[in-house]
């Protein structure tokens, strides 16, 4: 499929099921849309039996259809320990592939989730904290391979923490505390 669409294998992963089926039926693929989704992110979910794909202005589009983010301000974030350790560092929020360039040695990488494109940043990070995932998630597995503290499944780290904030990650307790 990648060869037939002039997309990379990774870019094909950003096509929806319907887009793939339409391509196989003879329609063309919007290459720029797939590239943009990989670069800037996108969200897919099912609502009332319909698959919905949002690839621009995600927050605004979710609010339009009735999803509202609850304000969850707290000084502590709690999740599951994926790899033990206790470190302090500055938060770098990673939402897209462009954000990985902001991660410097010793930073705390905070993301909704991680995927293979994030590995170069994960190798620099002192710890990894994710909103989603469990002990078998990508973040957890890579953190164990790297031997760095990792907390997964916090549910709110990316909304509570701000870029550059100093935190202490105590993975054994599963907590992130703003210093």
Q: Encode pLDDT of 75-93 as tens digits.
A: 579 999 999 999 999 999 9
Q: 126-151: per-residue pLDDT in tens?
A: 999 999 999 999 999 999 999 999 99
DSSP string, 54-97: E-SSHHHHHHHTT--PPP---SEEE-EEEE--EEEEEEEEE-SG
Q: Which pTM was predicted?
A: 0.64
Q: Where are the domains of the chain?
A: 2-64, 76-178
More confident: 61 or 2: 2
Among candidate residues 40, 68, 98, 138, the one labeled active-site is 138
- For the domain bounded by 76-178, which CATH number is listed? 3.50.30.10
Active site residue 98: no
């Amino acid at each position: 499929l990648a060869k037939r669409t002039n997309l990379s294998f990774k870019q094909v992963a950003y096509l929806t099921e319907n887009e793939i089926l339409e391509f196989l039926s003879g329609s063309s693929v919007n290459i720029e849309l797939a590239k943009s989704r990989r670069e800037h992110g996108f969200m897919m979910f099912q609502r009332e039996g319909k698959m919905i794909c949002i690839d621009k202005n995600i927050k605004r589009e979710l609010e339009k259809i009735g999803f509202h983010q609850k304000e969850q301000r707290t000084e502590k974030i709690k999740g599951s320990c994926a790899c033990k350790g206790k470190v302090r560092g500055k938060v770098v929020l990673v939402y897209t592939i462009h954000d990985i360039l902001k991660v410097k040695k010793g930073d705390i990488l905070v993301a909704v989730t991680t995927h293979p494109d994030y590995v170069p940043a994960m190798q620099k990070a002192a710890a990894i904290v994710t909103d989603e995932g469990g002990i078998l998630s990508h973040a957890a597995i890579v953190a164990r391979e790297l031997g760095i503290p990792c907390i997964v499944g916090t549910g709110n780290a990316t909304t509570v923490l701000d870029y550059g904030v100093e935190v202490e990650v105590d993975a054994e307790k599963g907590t992130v505390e703003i210093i």
